[in-house]
Amino acid sequence: MRVATYVNPILRMGYSIATSIECLFIVTTYLNHLRPVYKIPLVEYIPLPTGISQTPGYTATLGLLIGIVGGLFRILCYNALGKSFTFNTTLKGPKLVTSGPYSLVRHPSYLAVWLISTGLTVYHLSPGSWVRESDILKHDAWKLVVGLWAFMAVFVTNVCLTMRTVDEDQLMKRTFGEEWETWRKVVRYRVLPGLF
């Protein structure tokens, strides 16, 4: 919980900054590819050295699609739990939700976060993305920053969430007893269908 309390705001800020710059970079790249005769000088306003880029390839597109699927799946989890969806491991509602995404794995919201963090990290580190097309990875300090961000975004976040499933399962078992045990036997996996 302590790690998540401090890491989540940093990751959100990093994703917000990277996504804002990436969106501007994509728009300027596509505009410049669409109008090769009339170069649009918006590229100059991106806050780190960058030039005209190739458009993102298959790897970047796949990463982006995985991230989008994860985001949509997380919305399904929010909707399935309603007001019971909280960050703290407490229960506000007396009902055990076992339908929708909760019929696939016991912690589908964490699966969604795995997809989001992995997909977006793949996108941001793929050729055609702002991070790869700018010159920042030529500098050791920026390599360290990007490496730490990718490590926190994928490994730390997903490991912390996976460890948290143990506490949440114990809370659910104490709260719902036999009903939870019956559901656990049907939905055997915590986060990854068929694996964990």
Which residue range is the domain that position 66 belongs to? Answer: 56-186
The dihedral over CA atoms of 63, 66, 70, 73, expressed in degrees to the nearest 10, equals 160
Q: Is residue 194 part of a domain?
A: no
The predicted pLDDT at position 196 comes to 80
Which band of pLDDT confidence, cut at 50, 70 and 90, is reported for residue 49? very low
Q: Is residue 132 part of a domain?
A: yes
In order of 118, 127, 133, 134, the CA distances from 54 in angstroms are 22, 8, 8, 11
From the centroid of its chain, how far is CA 84? Answer: 21
Please give the structure tokens belonging to residue 91: 């229960």
Residue written as tokens 């994509």? 26
Give the residue with greater pLDDT, 186 vs 53.
186
Q: Is residue 157 part of a domain?
A: yes
Q: Is residue 12 part of a domain?
A: no
CATH number at residue 101: 1.20.120.1630
Amino acid at 65: L
Q: Is residue 192 part of a domain?
A: no
In this structure, how many other beta carbons lie within 10 angstroms of the beta carbon of residue 49?
10
The total number of structural domains in the chain stands at 1
Q: What's the pLDDT tens digit per position in 162-180? A: 888 888 899 889 889 999 9
Give the residue with greater pLDDT, 52 vs 189.
189
Q: Is the dihedral of CA 140, 150, 160, 14 positive or negative?
A: positive
Residues 6+ apart with CB under 8 A from 126: 56, 57, 59, 60, 63, 132
Q: Is residue 22 part of a domain?
A: no
pTM: 0.75
Q: What's the pLDDT tens digit per position in 118-141? A: 998 898 888 878 788 777 788 888
Which band of pLDDT confidence, cut at 50, 70 and 90, is reported for residue 50? very low
